[in-house]
Structure 1
């Protein structure tokens, strides 16, 4: 069976990544691509690396006939997504890549994003889109909320440990480096080559980063009590990749065994032998997440490092993984490509 999909916001990085991935999927066809400011253009004009593909011309959202669409990917800006999704057919399956439906509590959404949610009923309906932990809920969901790429990396490293209670929940330090594509494709002065290259910097220091809302929500849920991590993100002059270095209080052998048990059947999570640390260069362009565990020199402390591609496993690849579950496809279909190296 062939499934017809639409991609809204196809002119951004995550939209282009969805196109690249779906091109390898034997049972999904792209029926519509939208980009409000680039409507009328071809994808080849917007992304020359996709010029070999036979794709629909970009259009405005209101020009799409959704009657023949089985699933819609929304790769739209935050806040725009909730407004657009509210107007889509009520029986349409949707995978949203924005932040609009990640937080279950409307008050938490307003706290982290600075404005009231305009689609509270949809927010209640949405399933958090981390396939490895919400697989069964995603299979029957109509609306899936894609995770933040930083949040996904930290959750893969820590969620099984928090759930199992094998680390001190009050002593978690998460130091994360993210490539510049995580900031999107729109023009920003601080992302110009001369402003960003030859250095990297911390941002949202001291608890201002919005993905903390996801950490608070997910860690507190599995722990059964409030859990707050100390989190500092850094922007690095690289195109793709996230590396999360987590400092925890707990036994390295127990932590490694806990992660091994949690991910034993997971096709996209690779736990390295104890003592090895992952690199973003080894997951680039793939839907894999590599995790390493190392004993710290301070007795009783452990370092956990996770690496993934922010555009693939951190966003569009995870979105396609969710779509496979929602459409009854094998979860790994179209996603088993090897990382690009060097």
Structure 2
């Protein structure tokens, strides 16, 4: 099957090339950019002699005629406009931006600060949280690929929220991300001199992933809820650690909770639940599509601590996008994604 990638010069697009270059079923038919046409290896020298396909201008009609699936690895606002051009066409679309994730246009405009896509496109898009929306993904033609923070957070909280096991008002999320999550464009905040040997909070109570997380948690909770969500930038390239604190409605031991999580995620190859007393680190999932989860129930306070780690460019973006493509086309969801994490 033929894949087209739009937005190949960003980190997410670069990861799509890395994954799909070795995929057993998909071939990269074309790669597209709004910049000058040139071999992608000039943009990414590490691809020299491995993948030298030429970046071309975006021609949506030609893409529809020639490809089976198109990955939109473009920024929000740009992705929404491109996605609209593929509406009601014979092609599957996976959007890695935030433009199709929020079902409320008003909420999108408030948090993203620009106009939303047409409501008909929002209604067509399926939220691509692979482990929890697989049945919908199989039948979908448009996928809203989840954000990086929401992926780590939702996979960590889902077994509890779907069973109404926690006080939803108690949810506090403390999350840290590597600098690649900010994208490839230059900014003062991501300069080496600013970030090295530093650790800083940003977008306090204003991060655009807040409504995305709340939207899905509210669906599982059967009523609207609000979270406290803090994001921090750490001086590493890849990785997200989300540490979550919740109050349990009933007394649960750590052992019982680990057994529950292992049961819930059995059959889901990319979620690994750690044994008691062992917590995951971001380096242990680097370059892979895994989400690793550690748990500890504090019987003294009645609170549960959940630690969830992912590679933001893989499970938080390109890896999950390919996992969703596999599901959409009826393939083994592990196809092209069974790489071992890079360590150390």
What TM-score do you get using the length of structure 1 for normalisation? 0.95
- The list of structure 1 runs, each at least 4 consecutive aligned residues, that deviate by more than 6 angstroms after superposition, is none
Task: Report how far residue 94 of structure 1 moved.
Answer: 0.3
Q: Would the alpha carbon gap of residues 63 and 74 (structure 1) be closer, same or farther in structure 2, given more than 3 Å must change?
A: closer
Checking the alignment, whether the CA contact within 8 Å between 1:161 and 1:258 is kept in structure 2 is: no
Q: What is the aligned counterpart of 2:18 among 3, 17, 20?
A: 20
Unaligned runs of 5+ in 1: none
Q: Would the alpha carbon gap of residues 74 and 312 (structure 1) be closer, same or farther in structure 2, given more than 3 Å must change?
A: same
Checking the alignment, whether the CA contact within 8 Å between 2:166 and 2:246 is kept in structure 1 is: yes
Q: What is the aligned counterpart of 2:42 among 32, 42, 45?
A: 45
Q: Deviations over 1:251-287 (max 9, x none)?
A: 3344323322210111000000122110001000000
Q: What is the aligned counterpart of 1:333 among 319, 326, 335?
A: 335
* Higher mean C-alpha deviation, range 150-159 or range 296-305: 296-305
Task: Report how far residue 146 of structure 1 moved.
Answer: 0.6
Q: How does 1:138-157 map to 2 (within 5 A)?
A: 138-157=137-156
Secondary structure at 2:103's aligned position in 1? Answer: coil
Task: Report how far residue 100 of structure 1 moved.
Answer: 0.2
Q: What is the rounded CA distance, in whole Å, between the counterparts of 1:299 and 1:84 in structure 2? A: 49
Q: What is the rounded CA distance, in whole Å, between the counterparts of 1:30 and 1:155 in structure 2? A: 30
Q: What is the rounded CA distance, in whole Å, between the counterparts of 1:77 and 1:289 in structure 2? A: 24
Q: Deviations over 1:280-309 (max 9, x none)?
A: 010000000100002337431221101110
Secondary structure at 1:45's aligned position in 2? Answer: helix
* Higher mean C-alpha deviation, range 236-245 or range 246-255: 246-255
Unaligned runs of 5+ in 2: none
* Residue 195 (structure 2) pairs with residue 196 (structure 1): yes
Task: Report how far residue 63 of structure 1 moved.
Answer: 7.7
Q: What is the rounded CA distance, in whole Å, between the counterparts of 1:291 and 1:87 in structure 2? A: 39
Q: What is the rounded CA distance, in whole Å, between the counterparts of 1:255 and 1:108 in structure 2? A: 34
Secondary structure at 1:65's aligned position in 2? Answer: helix
* Higher mean C-alpha deviation, range 243-252 or range 121-130: 243-252
Q: What is the aligned counterpart of 1:83 among 81, 96, 106?
A: 81
Q: Deviations over 1:102-148 (max 9, x none)?
A: 11122221221123313221111100011101101111101000111
Match of 1:322 in 2: 324
Q: What is the rounded CA distance, in whole Å, between the counterparts of 2:61 and 2:44 in structure 1? A: 21
Q: What is the aligned counterpart of 2:301 among 262, 274, 299?
A: 299
Secondary structure at 2:177's aligned position in 1? Answer: strand
Checking the alignment, whether the CA contact within 8 Å between 1:6 and 1:72 is kept in structure 2 is: yes
Q: How many residues align?
A: 338
* Residue 232 (structure 2) pairs with residue 234 (structure 1): yes
What TM-score do you get using the length of structure 2 for normalisation? 0.95
Task: Report how far residue 54 of structure 1 moved.
Answer: 3.6
